[in-house]
């Protein structure tokens, strides 16, 4: 039986942990060979896990939910990247997890679940720690885009996560702008070409490859292309010929980049076919931020090309909340994909003890605020020292769910989400970092409340 301290709050210890992560970059003409390294020194916790669990059974409480329309206006957060190759200090400051947006929920078998039909990237709670990631030297050249980034307290995930981070989980690259508009109700007459983040990466050759029908249209019928040629060529050209004819006569013009135009002066539909082509058809789409795709920040998670779904169907009960005085907890359901989800805890074992079925009764879900486990995969697996907060993947591998703050006195606990960075294109696969970008506040629970756990072996 648990004895609570009724004379004061259980102290919460924040352990500054200096984590040195060596990121190995391997180079060769066609792959990986030469090792070089850069160090990322991080203060306090960083973490999260690798690619994950498979769905068992056909449980999907969200499948019959009706569609919604309407776009929520949002503010895009802009920030500069630090591109230096010297050791990068990552500073983090904290806000209480209780602040922020409340997660919408639905009820399934007397258990609260996130209502993913009402949750979108822009509507998620804001991250409560600032941090940054510096890509190793040469990575940007290999990928064709710069995956380095920073994130600040108060930003929602759409401002610091890019499409490539979710190419296997949510598969957002399968969306076209028309698809997104049908979900959130975009008014394309109010959207300019600069707001579609893939455009700045495209050359004329890239455009023709992505939109084959474009090559047969006369140059003067596509205003951005006509203006690009007029701006870059010192001699006159036949604007009545098709783009294909022009590029056959002067192949070097295919390397002209649309980034040299003032893209804000053109409407999004000024390039025929642009609205209906899947985002993943365009070159370097992996490096585009979520909030750089019009409307995508407001698409509910339940309507992604690969919608979010529960993984498994196990439900437990938050029996007792324990603080950091707890030691030596061997029977757990928390961990990582790399280490498994029964990682013991030796000290500072704040956790919730579960009751319920035989598979969970008496087991602990350890707080990721105090225990790090192994995570990540591939070259990027060494970022953050190869560590992430202990936790679980009840909703797949797009993010990790961690027990975070635990109040023994109040009999309560909060969860937090952690995200990872993944880098892969047609030519190179650098893997994924541990889940170290967070915490993003998630759900709160009281003792004796049921909690969705997913798959428990």
Q: Are residues 315 and 373 in the same domain?
A: yes
**Boundary of a domain, candidates 279, 301, 323:** 301
Residue 394 and residue 432 in one domain: yes
- 312 within some domain: yes
Give dist(CA 455, CA 457) in Å, integer: 7
Q: Is 389 within the bounds of a domain?
A: yes
Among the listed residues 442, 412, 445, 454, the one whose alpha carbon sits nearest the alpha carbon of residue 103: 442
- Pick the closest to residue 121 from 172, 194, 197, 69 (CA basis): 172
CA 351 to chain centre: 26
Residue 233 tokens, joined: 């060529």
Report yes or no on 5 lying in a domain. Answer: no
Which pLDDT does position 221 carry in this prediction?
94
Structure tokens at 161: 């996560």
- Kindly report the backbone phi and psi dihedral angles of residue 178, in degrees, each rounded to the nearest multiple of 5, phi listed first: -65, -40
| Residue of 316, 319, 390 lying closest to 360 (CA atoms) | 316
In this structure, the answer to whether residues 398 and 309 fall within a common structural domain is yes
| Domain assignment present for 12 | no
In a domain? residue 143:
yes
Decide: 91 and 146 in contact? Cβ < 8 Å: no
Which residues, including other chains, have CB under 8 Å from residue 102's CB and lie 6 or more apart? none
In a domain, residue 231? The reply is yes
Residues 262 and 332 in one domain: no
Asked if 40 and 173 sit in the same domain, the reply is yes
Terminal CA-CA length for the chain: 26
Q: In this predicted structure, what is the pLDDT of residue 262?
A: 96
Whether residues 172 and 196 fall in one domain: no
Q: Compute CA 146 distance to the chain's CA centroid, rounded to the nearest angstrom.
A: 16
Structure tokens at 129: 């720690």
Element (H, E) at 180: helix 177-184
Same domain? For 387 and 315 the reply is yes
Report how many domains make up the chain. Answer: 2
DSSP string covering 411-453, please?
A: TEEEEEEEE--EEE-SS-EEEE--S-EEEEEEEEEETT-EEEE
| Residue 136: predicted pLDDT | 84
How far is the C-alpha of 349 from the C-alpha of 347, rounded, in Å?
Answer: 5
Q: What's the pLDDT score for residue 351?
A: 97
Residue 80 domain flag: no
4 lies in some domain: no
pLDDT by position in tens, the chain (length 457) = 444 433 333 333 333 333 333 333 323 233 322 222 222 223 222 333 333 222 223 344 444 333 333 332 323 332 222 222 222 223 333 334 444 468 999 999 899 999 999 999 999 999 999 999 999 888 888 898 999 999 999 999 999 999 999 999 999 999 999 999 999 999 998 999 999 999 999 999 999 999 999 999 999 999 999 999 999 987 888 999 999 999 999 999 999 999 999 999 999 999 999 999 999 999 999 999 999 999 999 999 999 999 999 999 999 999 999 999 999 999 999 999 999 999 999 999 999 999 999 999 999 999 999 999 999 999 999 999 999 999 999 999 999 999 999 999 999 999 999 999 999 988 889 999 999 999 999 999 999 999 999 999 8
Same domain, residue pair 122 and 251: no
Domain hosting residue 408, numbered range: 19-74+91-181+302-454
Domain check: are 143 and 290 in the same one? Answer: no
Sign, Cα dihedral of 63, 421, 119, 366: positive
Max Cα-Cα span within the chain? 87
Same domain flag for 364 and 340: yes
> Using CA atoms, how far apart are residues 340 and 259, in angstroms rounded to an integer?
46
So what's the pLDDT on residue 73? Answer: 30
Question: Last residue of a domain, which of 252, 269, 301?
Answer: 301
Which of 253, 270, 301 is the last residue in one of the domains?
A: 301
Considering the domain architecture, whether residues 96 and 131 belong to the same structural domain is answered as yes
Indicate whether 45 and 144 sit together in one domain: yes
């Amino acid at each position: 039986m648990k004895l609570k301290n009724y004379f004061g709050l259980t102290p919460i210890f924040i352990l500054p942990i200096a984590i040195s992560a060596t990121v190995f970059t391997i180079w060769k003409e066609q792959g990986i060979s030469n090792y070089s390294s850069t160090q990322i020194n991080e203060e306090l916790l960083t973490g999260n896990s690798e690619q994950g669990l498979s769905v068992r059974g056909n449980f999907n409480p969200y499948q019959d939910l009706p569609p919604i329309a309407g776009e929520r206006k949002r503010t895009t957060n802009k920030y500069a990247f630090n591109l230096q190759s010297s050791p990068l200090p990552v500073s983090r400051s904290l806000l209480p997890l209780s602040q922020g947006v409340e997660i919408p929920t639905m009820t399934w078998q007397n258990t609260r679940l996130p209502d993913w039909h009402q949750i979108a990237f822009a509507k998620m709670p804001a991250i409560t720690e600032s941090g940054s990631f510096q890509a190793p030297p040469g990575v940007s050249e290999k990928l064709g885009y710069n995956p380095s980034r920073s994130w600040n307290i108060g930003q929602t995930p759409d401002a610091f996560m890019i499409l490539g981070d979710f190419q296997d989980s949510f598969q957002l690259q399968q969306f076209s702008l028309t698809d997104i508009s049908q979900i959130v109700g975009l008014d394309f007459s109010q959207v300019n070409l600069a707001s579609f983040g893939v455009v700045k990466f495209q050359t004329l050759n890239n455009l023709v490859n992505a939109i084959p029908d474009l090559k047969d249209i006369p140059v003067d019928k596509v205003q951005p292309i006509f203006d690009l040629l007029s701006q870059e060529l010192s001699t006159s050209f036949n604007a009545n010929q098709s783009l294909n004819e022009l590029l056959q006569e002067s192949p070097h013009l295919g390397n002209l980049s649309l980034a040299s135009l003032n893209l804000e002066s053109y409407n999004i539909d000024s390039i025929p076919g642009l609205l209906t082509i899947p985002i993943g058809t365009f070159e370097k789409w992996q490096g585009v931020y979520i909030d750089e795709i019009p409307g995508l920040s407001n698409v509910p998670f339940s309507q992604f090309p690969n919608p979010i779904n529960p993984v498994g169907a196990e439900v437990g009960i938050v029996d007792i909340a324990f603080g950091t005085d707890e030691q030596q907890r061997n029977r757990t359901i928390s961990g990582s994909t790399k280490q498994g989800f029964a990682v013991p805890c030796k000290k500072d074992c704040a956790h919730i003890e579960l009751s319920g079925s035989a598979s969970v009764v008496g087991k602990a879900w350890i707080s990721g605020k105090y225990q790090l486990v192994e995570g990540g995969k591939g070259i990027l697996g060494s970022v953050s020292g190869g560590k992430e907060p202990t936790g679980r993947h009840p909703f797949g591998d797009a993010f990790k769910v961690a027990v975070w703050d635990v109040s023994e006195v109040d009999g309560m606990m909060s969860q937090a989400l952690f995200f990872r960075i993944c880098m892969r294109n047609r030519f190179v696969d650098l893997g994924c970092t541990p889940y170290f970008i967070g915490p993003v506040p998630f759900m709160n629970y009281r003792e004796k409340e049921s909690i969705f756990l997913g798959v428990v072996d």
